[in-house]
Structure 1
Amino acid sequence: MKEIPKYIDTIPASDKFYRLIWRVVCLFLFKPFSLPLFSGWRIFLLKCFGAKIGKYCNIYASAYIPSPRNLTMGLHSTLGPGVQLHFGKTIIGNKVTVSQRTYLCSATHKTSSINIPFIAGEIIIKDFAWIAAEAFIMANVIIGEGAVVGARSAVFKDVADWTIVGGNPAIFIKKRELE
């Protein structure tokens, strides 16, 4: 019988401490301030913890952001209610809407190792894209400019510019044409 290798934690202690402090701040100073009036306050707190957020963005208080320094948002973008990010990088362009209860899973695990170590990746959502309600976006995926990801879709591969995808796994539905 093979010996099971020892688990190796690849996340540095300094990152764990940073996330702990953020969770405490989030609990008392971010989540309770859910009214639209406090949008600027929530963005201020995220920026204090390293997030890069453009002007006129909207981030709901119920969004789960475990590591603000891994979040970049362009102008006029929104993270809707109940959106969940992961520990990897999330880069969101201009005029992007990420609808309610979407899960942006920007990290994964190395399945070719018996220890299944954590691997931080990134998700890039380009300008004018819309991620509809309860979609799942996997790590290392690029959502193209103007693309639409249908509600409850599961995206595991890049989505081309100006296309609409849907389903699990998400497949091409049609080209997005603007009037």
Structure 2
Amino acid sequence: MELAAAETRLLDTAERLFYERGIQAVGMDQVRTASGVSLKRLYQVFPSKSALVLACLERRDRRWRERLAAYVDGTAGAAGERVLAVYDWLYAWFAEPDFRGCAFINSFGELGAVDPAVADTVRAHKAAFGAYLADLVAAAGAPEETVGPLVLLAEGAMTTAAISGSPEPARQARLGAARLLAAT
């Protein structure tokens, strides 16, 4: 099996298992078995579970931000509508049948205190999301001080949707964001 194909298969499998069951609940042997990749190849590609977790998070970060940006970029209307489109996208994401919360929040909860690299990766993802929202806010002509509350509305919606099992927190966050933007 080619190294790139093994890496892709391992990442696909590990990401699915980590997201479904939790990182600490999934061992490297389970990843090996579910992926069909030999243990020797697994450790050639990812010398540790931490390296595998980081690779999964980095790949998920790219995909998540690309999906969000593609959705927002497809939104017609005033620049403020692009900010609100973030919450519409969150609603669609929360409504997906396999939604188990934010993988970054979940990862931080499991490993943030014991794996500084995971904590740093999560912080980088959240900072990139905040910077993206800041760009949308600036394009909408809204004050910079609205960025923090808008980020908190989104992050709170992610956590609440995971706990409640409902996409509705995204609608509530959108309503709050619309009110905040209208007040500026």
Instruction: Give the TM-score taking structure 1 as reference length.
Output: 0.24
The answer to which structure, 1 or 2, has the higher relative contact order (CA under 8 A, 6+ apart) is: 2
Instruction: Give the TM-score taking structure 2 as reference length.
Output: 0.23
Structure holding more strand per residue = 1
Structure holding more helix per residue = 2
